[in-house]
Amino acid sequence: MSSPRKSALPSPHLKVSLTRLQTSLDYVFKDAALLERALTHRSAVALRGGGRRPARRADPRQSLASNERLEFIGDRVLGLVVAEWLLERFPDETEGALGPRHAALVSRNALAPVAEALDLSEMLNIAEHEERSGIRHLANVLADAMEAILGALYLDGGLDPVRRFVHRHWASIMEAQITPPKDPKTALQEFVLGNDRTLPVYETIRTEGPSHAPQFTVRVSALALSAEGTARSKRLAESAAASALMRLLRRETDLKKDMS
């Protein structure tokens, strides 16, 4: 018989983390197990018999004990709450303008800073072998955990606590959007065409994760540079790659200006 799974967080540490997080969320969970699961990275349940080495083959049941399913619903709940808020905040805008606003507000770039403000990186339950690789502070891991927290909030208390939390923590991003932001792929294409005649080239270089929660990594190349992005869909991965490449291209442009 295999020994019980060991948590990557000592029990007292976990209890303190759950208390701190509920204070930050301004919500007390009826089912604290939901919140604990939201903080559990898949690596923490991928160990065979509580050992330190990951199992060779992933067990589909592992995702049931990790935050992946909560992340799945949290993504949808955030999308709904933000869409509802945008309709109220910008009553005269068309769908074409609301779309880029929505994409920016539910992106990893919006989620990760909120997760950092909550200090989620220190609360996550992560296996030792992943801990050593430094994934605790990766933006995509923090963004996924933030979505899982939103999913847990929704399942425990419905839309109201999610709506209150999102309105409080996303308000500064919402108000900063004086004009609708451009989709990253559109912004990159316009920049590249202004400097070259060749369109950016996108390539899916890696697909990982279980079938219900895949992770796509896409590389985009243009103007002799390339960058990668990872997300739960090819479209979002392409947008993440385009954003990363735009940062590189702007940096290159600024360096050339400084040298001239």
**Residue 103 in tokens:** 């994409």
What is the rounded CA–CA span in Å between residue 41 and residue 25?
A: 20
To the question of whether residue 147 is assigned a binding role by annotation, the answer is yes
| Cα–Cα distance list, 206 to 7, 232, 234, 237 (Å) | 29, 12, 10, 11
Collapsed DSSP state (helix, strand, coil) of residue 51: coil
Task: State CA 81 to chain mean position distance.
Answer: 16
E-strand ranges in the chain read 201-208, 215-222, 225-231
To the question of whether residue 116 is assigned a binding role by annotation, the answer is no
- Enumerate the active-site residues: 75, 147
Q: Identify the CA nearest to 151 among candidates 76, 44, 40, 66.
A: 76
Single-letter amino acid code for the residue at 239: S
What is the 8-class DSSP label of residue 73? H
To the question of whether residue 228 is assigned a binding role by annotation, the answer is no
CA angle 197, 198, 204 (to 5 degrees): 160
Question: What DSSP letter does each residue of 77-122 carry, written as one string?
Answer: HHHHHHHHHHHHH-TT--HHHHHHHHHHHTSHHHHHHHHHHTTHHH
Long-range Cβ contacts of 155-158 (<8 Å, 24+ apart) = 155/34, 155/70, 155/73, 156/27, 156/29, 156/30, 156/31, 156/34, 156/35, 157/27, 157/29, 157/30
Binding residues for Mg(2+): 71, 144, 147
Binding residues: 71, 144, 147
